[in-house]
Amino acid sequence: MSIEQHDEWSELVVGRSLDALEPGDDARLSAHLAGCSDCRALLSEMRQVASSMAYDVADAEPPAELINRIRDALPQHALGSGPLVPVLADQRRRRASRSARVAHRSRPLLAAAAAVVVAVLVSSGVFVARADHDRDQTRSALQAETAVIGNLQHGSSYSVSLRSGGPAAGFAAVNGSTVDLVATGLDRNNAGTMYVLWAATGRGATMTAVRGFSVTTAGQTVVTATLPAGMTKPTIFGVTEQEGTTLPRTPGTVILGSSSAA
- Which listed residue (3, 31, 34, 53) binds another protein by CB under 8 A? 53
Q: Which of 239, 252, 137 is nearest to 198 (CA)?
A: 239
Q: Is 90 in the site for another protein (CB under 8 A)?
A: yes
- Chain positions 150 to 209 lying near another protein, rule: CB under 8 A, are 191-192
Cα→Cα distances 146→38, 113, 173, 224, Å: 54, 11, 12, 13
71 phi and psi angles, rounded to 5 deg? -60, -45
Q: Is 39 in the site for another protein (CB under 8 A)?
A: no
Q: Is 221 in the site for another protein (CB under 8 A)?
A: no
**Calpha distance 136→59 (Å, rounded):** 36
Closer residue to another protein, CB minimum distance, 21 or 152: 21
Closer residue to another protein, CB minimum distance, 52 or 232: 52
Q: Is 21 in the site for another protein (CB under 8 A)?
A: yes
Which residue type occupies 163?
A: R
Number of helical (H) and strand (E) elements in the chain, helices listed first: 7, 8
Q: Is 86 in the site for another protein (CB under 8 A)?
A: yes
Q: Is 15 in the site for another protein (CB under 8 A)?
A: yes
DSSP 86-131: HHHHHHHHHHHHHHTT---B-HHHHHHHHHHHHHHHHHTTTTS---
- Which listed residue (1, 27, 38, 74) binds another protein by CB under 8 A? 74
Long-range contacts of 108-113, Cβ-Cβ distance < 8 Å, separation of 24 or more: 109/152, 109/157, 109/158, 109/159, 110/149, 110/152, 110/153, 112/159, 112/161, 113/148, 113/149, 113/152, 113/159, 113/171, 113/173
Cα→Cα distances 158→63, 93, 178, Å: 30, 21, 11
Which part of the chain contacts another protein (CB under 8 A), choosing from 53-61, 102-110, 126-134, 182-190?
Answer: 53-61
Q: Output the smallest distance, CB 245 to another protein, in A.
A: 6
- Which listed residue (2, 3, 4, 19) binds another protein by CB under 8 A? 19
- Which listed residue (28, 32, 69, 92) binds another protein by CB under 8 A? 69
Q: Is 132 in the site for another protein (CB under 8 A)?
A: no
Closer residue to another protein, CB minimum distance, 18 or 118: 18
Q: Is 45 in the site for another protein (CB under 8 A)?
A: yes
Which residue type occupies 234?
A: P
Task: Report the interface residues with another protein, using CB under 8 A.
Answer: 7, 10-12, 14-15, 17-22, 25, 44-63, 66-67, 69-71, 73-74, 77-78, 80-81, 83, 86-87, 90, 191-192, 245
